Amino acid sequence: MRQRLKVAVLFGGRSVEHEISVISALQMISAMDTLRYDPIPVYIDLSGKWFTGKPLLQRSFYRNFDAAAAGLENVTLLPQPGLGGLSRTSAPNSILPVDVFFPLFHGRFGEDGCIQGLFELAEVPYVGCGVLASAVAMSKQRCKTLLAGVGLPVLPGCLVEKPDVLRDLDAQLARVAASPWLEQFPLFVKPNNSGSSVGIGKAANREELAATLANVFVYDVEALVEPCLSDMFEVNVSVLAGRAKRVSVVEIPVATAGALTYEDKYLRSGGKKSGESQGMASLTRVIDPADLDPGIKNTITDYARRAFDALGCRGVARFDFMVSKADGRIYLNELNSPPGSMAFYLWEKSAPRLLYTELVDCLIEDALDRAGWRASVKWEMEFRALKQ
């Protein structure tokens, strides 16, 4: 029997989406093939401390988290190539071996390129998008600007920054009103650098727009204002990199009241008798809808492939589109990089079918392949200028 790969699964983190990351990580670990992989849970608490230990595998443990009582070990990843794993902080010269890192964060410091930069500095194999794609994906409006530049239709929006609002609120409200598609209310407001529908709001007039901006600025320094269009519906699709790039079936998510909320996404039972949140699987959705125009499905699939390539994505990424009910026009709304994009429920319905366990295999395989490519590149040159 071959030796199992040691997979460090990193989750939690300094984000308002912290608890969703925990759910996603435990969900993924339970889907891993334990004959092939030895999962190492690595939890980063809200203060930024890293822990590992078997109690982290139990969902109930987080309700009364006590690292000392549970005997958790403090670890960290040093930005030093060649160490071969996580450093034990109590014994800096002692290494916990790791073969591949699997980040399962949601939001800041995990999806946004920060942890990916640490992986790059340490020269370790890791799952998912690299620094650039992760950073661009986190900034919703800048991502749309980039994709518009390669000819993809995107949903218009206006980026509003907190310092500008504090200096002159009236000027920023006027700028929003002068932006294409934003001339009339209602408007949709959300953090530009966050996910999970945290801080989102709907403004029916100028006063409510100011209030929703203030609410967004509790969670982010940038707000994205978009049209709130009742004559559109959302369609999502996932793209998987690897030795053979694949696109999943599409889905239509169902909101309880217009825009998808945090409760829609994470606090429904997802059909489970336990009533516990199943992460994104809790959301009500119509997967591979039979009554959706095949032309719309094909166009969305094509756009997703093109966007995936344009951004240099790796691993798996989910793209969210808006479709006009009136004329069928399609607009790319945002990109969700791992782990929000794991979207295993889409792959389970695709042809050929890909179960969550197999999806994990593909992602780890892609991470190891990419690490091999990077290792083939020459990064160092002999000293010459300093010798003169």
pLDDT of residue 142: 95
CATH 3.30.1490.20 assigned to 158-227: yes
Please state, for a pLDDT cut of 90, what percent of the chain lies above it: 76
- Residue 352, preceding peptide bond in cis (omega within 30° of 0): yes
State how far the Cα of 279 lies from the Cα of 266, in Å rounded to an integer: 5
Tell whether the model's pLDDT for residue 340 goes beyond 80: no
Please indicate whether residue 265 or residue 129 has the higher confidence score (pLDDT): 129
Tell whether the model's pLDDT for residue 71 goes beyond 70: yes
Q: Which of 57, 85, 367, 338 is nearest to 242 (CA)?
A: 367
Q: Which two tokens stand for residue 317?
A: 């990424």
What is the per-residue pLDDT across 173-185, written as a single tens digit (0 to 9) for each? 999 999 999 999 9
pLDDT of residue 257: 56
pTM for this entry:
0.89
Domain boundaries, the chain: 5-126, 136-154+231-250+288-374, 158-227
Q: Tell the residue number behind the tokens 């309880």, with chain if given.
A: 256
Q: Which of 370, 386, 387, 372 is nearest to 131 (CA)?
A: 370
| pLDDT mean over 6-32 | 94
Tell whether the model's pLDDT for residue 194 goes beyond 70: yes
Instruction: Using CB atoms within 10 Å of the CB of residue 284, give its burial: 0 to 12 exposed, 13 to 18 middle, 19+ buried.
Output: middle
State how far the Cα of 272 lies from the Cα of 279, in Å rounded to an integer: 12
Query: Cα 351 from chain centroid?
Result: 24
Instruction: Using CB atoms within 10 Å of the CB of residue 104, give its burial: 0 to 12 exposed, 13 to 18 middle, 19+ buried.
Output: buried
Q: What is the CATH number of domain 136-154+231-250+288-374?
A: 3.30.470.20
pLDDT of residue 196: 59
Tell whether the model's pLDDT for residue 316 goes beyond 90: yes
| pLDDT mean over 68-72 | 93
pLDDT of residue 281: 54
pLDDT of residue 271: 45
pLDDT of residue 198: 77
- Residue 81, preceding peptide bond in cis (omega within 30° of 0): no
| pLDDT mean over 18-46 | 96
Q: Which of 135, 137, 133, 124 is nearest to 367 (CA)?
A: 124
- Please state at what angle helix 131-138 crosses helix 114-122, rounded to 10 degrees: 170
State how far the Cα of 152 lies from the Cα of 294, in Å rounded to an integer: 19
Name the pLDDT band for 336 (thresholds 50, 70, 90). confident
Instruction: Using CB atoms within 10 Å of the CB of residue 118, give its burial: 0 to 12 exposed, 13 to 18 middle, 19+ buried.
Output: buried
What is the per-residue pLDDT across 244-303, written as a single tens digit (0 to 9) for each? 789 999 999 987 655 554 454 445 544 455 556 454 555 688 999 999 999 999 999 999
| pLDDT mean over 89-99 | 92
Multiple choice CATH, 5-126, 1.10.1200.10, 3.40.50.20, 3.40.50.150, 3.40.50.300: 3.40.50.20
Please indicate whether residue 173 or residue 242 has the higher confidence score (pLDDT): 173
State how far the Cα of 120 lies from the Cα of 224, in Å rounded to an integer: 30
